[in-house]
Structure 1
């Protein structure tokens, strides 16, 4: 029996789709695997990683310290303004139409005190007297110290405090006694009451020393004598130079508007009115400008650190060509190689940013402690500094990572 074998059917040729389905799917890197691979490169070259991160850390530390010290200083100044109050107004002589200084009337402080919302008013007046440590020092050597007549309620109105001794009172203001401002005492070399100074051609006894007066810094370089003593011993004409006014907080602007017409009804434009706390607020603006400059310098240092990270990553790619080729041969695609080196660069810069933030915070804390300021650093500044360092690392590592990803397995495994 003759059996005939049926020919087997010829299978259809494989299509492109079928061929792709039979190829193995490249393994995917999970986030923790990406971090582990990125850190492996840093662990293998610890000294180089530390030196590269150091540039980032210095830039971030500078930025955090600038922001932190500026914020702490601002908090201290705001605290000081709140403590001293913003309701102190000063009245001084302005200039007349001819350009000459217009004197205030002798009862200017009494007229101001009659304004309804005014809580207290006091005055000082410049004299022609000069003060020296002793009578052997030349008359022209005054050390920039002014001799001023002072009302007895001066300290209460301006919120000043005594460092030592006592202030003028009804029992001493008629006699040759003097109270020295903080800088005046320092320039005269006097650190305690009881001594004498040569003032206006005769000896005056020092009975008190003042603390610095933030709202009236002109008193720091003044020697204060009683109103009657200034008239009797120094030829003072009784005309005040500055009137200090403490008013209700809610009526500061309204009182400010009527002070000049009250002091000089005929020529209110010849009276100068100011609020000392505005000068302290202006210091904040000046410090903000200076801090912006320092912050810019810190940003430049951060960019220089980014250049160091880019240089480190370029060298790492050149040194690890065989590693790249082996990974490509085992199935790693270009995106995985690019992610590996980019993660390494971001991690390197990020660690530098964290170290810099800690270093900047420590520097701010130490400086604030020395200055007796409140310690304040905005959390957004710390987070922003670390994020900026990571961003710089990403930009710095983009070119080396792309260069590593473009290497083919054969090109990467080839050694020169």
Structure 2
């Protein structure tokens, strides 16, 4: 019995391929529509997946244990921000914080050997290197003993811009900020920008926090960058740090930003974006399904006499239905597999052109191929039912 069933299924599949081959160009056009629809679904799912990973990587580069504190002006306090903070007392109140670095931001021109460029001036303390994970190419970073000195640490792009042929900027050189000469004690490695930190490392000069009084009229702390110890509840740490700063800066609004919150928000946004892309791919897939239904209806119309002969020889209605349904599914399956390969290739090329690291979405192939087969089954069902409902006598009369 099982052998007869297997032979029957094999015969049906063979007949389906023969019938599709006889359709010629119409079958190829329907197949092309399915390939385009299936590849659109697979490609868009993978593009959305890689876009989400790339967006999340921007925040992860700064570390999920980094906190950025802002002090928005709420209009209730007329007192300016101070030029320094008692970080030792704050860290004693929030022991989970390893590094706590207040910063003063300004900008202006920097001159070396007659070459000038604009740069961000960042006044900070020794803890800023640990808070921002700064890496040095040469020299050292600021220490607690440098607050009264005219020392500066230079970002990578600024160092390369100020260098002249035969004399690149190096430690020990002196650069001019306003009317003061600052000695270069370190040059940083190039670092990618971190989304939440208000400092572009490569375009910045790092000075002692107290030394900002020399080059700015009234320096004020604009932000605080903190880094928590490992395995800490960042929500709890953020709340404790915000409360400690509110107690220190009476009347000032304090906002603590956590990278993990941004990552979670980006994940939700990317998921919504992915659903939108899937919907766009589904619309294209439905268009391909309509093409399959059109081809199968024409196939049924041209084979009415064959259907009548099959029924006269004893074929049941479900045999006719299954035959045409199998043809539709076979056509769709070939298109789904071809579209999956094309979609992955398109997503890979898009990622390479965009400079992303390609990662295959685990859901793309099941969703792409599965949805294509379901569309083929759905749009092939009506022609198959139409063929099975033909009356043998009427079908035999067709020439």
TM-score band w.r.t. shorter chain: 0.7 to 0.9
TM-score of the superposition, structure 1-length normalised?
Answer: 0.75
Aligned to 1:256: 238
| Aligned counterpart for 1:211 among listed residues 191, 201, 205 | 191
**Structural mapping, 1:237-316, within 5 Å:** 237-248=218-229, 249-265=231-247, 267=250, 270-316=253-299
**1:38 positional shift:** 1.9
CA distance in structure 2 between the aligned counterparts of 1:229 and 1:268, rounded to whole angstroms: 24
Count of residues in Structure 1 that have an aligned counterpart in Structure 2: 381
CA contact (8 A) 1:148 1:223 kept: yes
**How far did 1:345 drift?**
0.9
Q: CA separation of 1:51/1:181 partners in 2, compared to 1, >3 Å: closer, same or farther?
A: farther
User: Does structure 1 residue 117 correspond to structure 2 residue 96?
Assistant: yes
1:411 is aligned to 394
For structure 2, the 5+ residue unaligned runs are: none
Q: What residue number does 1:150 align with?
A: 124
**Secondary structure of 1:265's aligned partner:** helix
Distance 1:406-1:108 versus aligned 2 partners, 3 A rule? same
Query: More deviation in 202-211 or 213-222?
Result: 202-211
Alignment partners' CA distance in 1, 2:175 and 2:394: 90
Q: Does the 8 Å CA contact 1:131/1:199 hold for their aligned counterparts?
A: yes
Shift of 1:375: 1.8
1:144-202 CA-to-partner distances (Å, cap 9, x unmatched) read x643223344232222446x6666446998447563477x899x799996399985478
Shift of 1:76: 5.5
Coordinate RMSD, CA, aligned: 4.0
Greater Cα radius of gyration, structure 1 or 2: 1
Query: Per-residue CA shift, 1:329-369, capped at 9, x if unaligned?
Result: 32223222221111111111122122222222233344455
- Contact kept? 2:131, 2:226, Cα under 8 Å: yes
State the alpha-carbon separation in 1 of the partners of residues 16 and 337 from structure 2. Answer: 17
Matched, 1:384 2:362: no
- Pairing of 1:99-248 with structure 2 (within 5 A): 103-104=81-82, 106-114=84-92, 115-127=94-106, 129-131=107-109, 146-161=120-135, 168-169=141-142, 174-175=149-150, 177=152, 179-180=154-155, 194=169, 200=178, 207-208=187-188, 210-214=190-194, 216-220=196-200, 223-227=204-208, 230-231=211-212, 233-235=214-216, 237-248=218-229
Instruction: Say whether 1:48 aligns with 2:26.
Output: yes
Give TM-score scaled by structure 2 length: 0.78
Cα 1:81–1:277 change in 2 (3 A) is same
Q: Distance in 1 between matches of 2:163 and 2:297?
A: 66
* 101 and 86 in structure 1: CA distance in 2 versus 1, 3 angstrom threshold: farther
Change (3 A) 1:260 1:406: closer
Q: Matched residues in 2 for 1:329 and 1:265: separation?
A: 93
CA contact (8 A) 1:181 1:220 kept: no
Distance in 1 (alpha carbons) for counterparts of 2:156 and 2:345? 36
1:2-40 C-alpha deviation (Å, 9 max, x unpaired):
xxxxxxxxxxxxxxxxxxxxxxxxx98832232222222
* Rounded Cα–Cα distance in structure 2 between residues aligned with 1:401 and 1:191: 78
